[in-house]
């Protein structure tokens, strides 16, 4: 739950385990159950950190946020682990 009005930005994703061959992972920030423009897509499994710092999403105190991850392709979808963070600016 968002503690104060502000802006979400700087979505940061780091793969902890490798994506399956041919897989693509899409991370989308959701506010109150709706997708936002703050999204990150990648298919690289080299352990690189990925950052989406061009989009920002306005939020209000009490909003609920979630980060949806959808992995497609490859031989074993949804078998990859990630670390993630997002910044809330007042």
Report whether 12 contacts 86 (CB < 8 A): yes
Rounded Cα gap, residues 89 and 14, in angstroms? 21
Tens digit of each residue's pLDDT (9 = 90 or more) over 51-84: 888 899 999 999 999 999 888 876 665 567 788 8
Q: Residue 1: inside a domain, yes or no?
A: no
Q: How many helices (H) and strands (E) does the chain have?
A: 0, 7
Query: Closest by alpha carbon to 53, among 9, 6, 13, 86?
Result: 9
Tell me which residue range forms the domain holding 72. Answer: 6-89
Encode pLDDT of 1-57 as tens digits.
999 999 999 999 888 777 777 778 889 999 999 999 999 888 765 567 788 888 999
Cα angle 32, 87, 38; round to 5 = 55
Q: 53 in a domain, yes or no?
A: yes
Q: Looking at the 3D structure of the chain, how many domains does it have? A: 1
Confidence (pLDDT) at 37:
93
Model pTM score? 0.84
């Amino acid at each position: 739950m968002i503690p104060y009005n502000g802006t979400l930005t700087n979505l940061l994703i780091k793969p902890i385990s490798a994506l399956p061959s041919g897989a693509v992972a899409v991370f989308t920030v959701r506010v109150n159950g709706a997708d936002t423009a703050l999204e990150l897509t990648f298919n690289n499994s080299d352990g690189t950190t990925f950052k989406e710092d061009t989009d920002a999403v306005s939020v209000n105190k009490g909003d609920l946020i979630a980060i949806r991850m959808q992995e497609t392709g490859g031989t074993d979808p949804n078998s990859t682990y990630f670390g993630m963070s997002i910044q809330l600016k007042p």
